Structure 1
């Protein structure tokens, strides 16, 4: 699962890394506490790659309003091709969602929620497999997205049983549909040595918290 993340890669860098044309309405470049329904920069391919703004929280076309049903921030790889909300997007509207890292929580014996920051070992940006959907009703229009998740690898399973599908550079074209079929084969866990994690302060438990200190390692 992925329910919170950090995104600080400058737009100019994303444009170069993904060879994409930027939209003119991209979200703030530094957000250390990206929450569901926040805007995120997403790479989609439609007559070329484009870096676009989307709402994190997939809205199926039959919702009469954005909060008409469950908040769909993740899509399970095992059922994505069958779920009515996701199956068309899985075939036709896949995207890349860049991030620095993401947060997960474990529970202390007394019940407190303990946050962890998960980051790539190579210190480069993560690229999550995503799907997207345009939603429009009564003059409101949103491009919305969800992160595809898969059962956790051995490293991540120490703190959570699921993790985002993380795509290496070599898989970007296939996931976007630029390089033929076979995207389904990419929905797997990253290698065990791809990620590391450390405890961070419980300040990040609040969706109102902000600032680079949120992902500072705890020292005691």
Structure 2
């Protein structure tokens, strides 16, 4: 699962990373506490690669309102091609979600939630697989997205049983559909040594918390 992120890359760095044309309404970075239902950076490739802003929280076309059903911030790789909410987007509207790291939680003996910050071991930008779709019509239309997740392995599995699908730079074109079919073979957990993680302050348990201290290592 991925329920919170930190995005520190400047938009111009994302433009260069993906060779994408930027939209004018991109979210401000750095943001050390990116929460569901807020706008996040997304790369699409309908005619050319574009860096755009989308609502994190996929809205199926049958929802009559954004809160008409479950909040779909993640899509399971194992069932994405069969789920009515996701199957068309999986075939036709895959996207890349650039970020710096994400948060996950374990529990102590008393049941208290203990946050962890997870990033690539080499400190490179993290690029997660995503799907997107437009919900609504006309001026009310909203572009929405979800992170694709899969079964965790290695050290990540000690923290949570799910992990975002990671897309490497040489795989961008395949996931976006620019290189034909075969994106399904990318939907697996990253190598066991790809990620590193450390405990962070419980301050991030609040979706209102802000600032660089949220990702600093914390003992206790």
Q: TM-score, normalised by structure 2?
A: 0.98
Shift of residue 219 of structure 1?
3.8
Mapped pair 1:152 → 2:140: no
Aligned to 1:166: 166
Equivalent residue, structure 2, for 1:66: 66
Question: Does structure 2 conserve the Cα–Cα contact (< 8 Å) formed by 1:65 and 1:137?
Answer: no
What CA deviation, in whole Å up to 9, does each residue of 1:80-122 have, x standing for no partner? 0000000000000000000100000001110100000001011
User: After the TM superposition, which segments of 4 or more aligned residues of structure 1 sit over 3 Å from their partners?
Assistant: none
Cα separation, 2, equivalents of 1:155 and 1:168: 20
1:36-61 Cα deviation digits (max 9, x unpaired): 00100100001110000000000001
Unaligned runs of 5+ in 2: none
Distance 2:99 2:27 in 1: 13
Q: Does 1:33 align with 2:33?
A: yes
Asked if the contact 1:77–1:149 (Cα under 8 Å) also holds between the matched residues in 2, the reply is yes
Number of the residue aligned with 2:104? 104
Q: Write the distance in 1 (CA, Å) between the matches of 2:44 and 2:137.
A: 22
Residues 1:213 and 2:213 are matched in the alignment: yes
Aligned positions, number: 220
Flag structure 1 segments of 5+ consecutive residues without an equivalent: none
Greater CA deviation, 137-146 or 150-159? 137-146
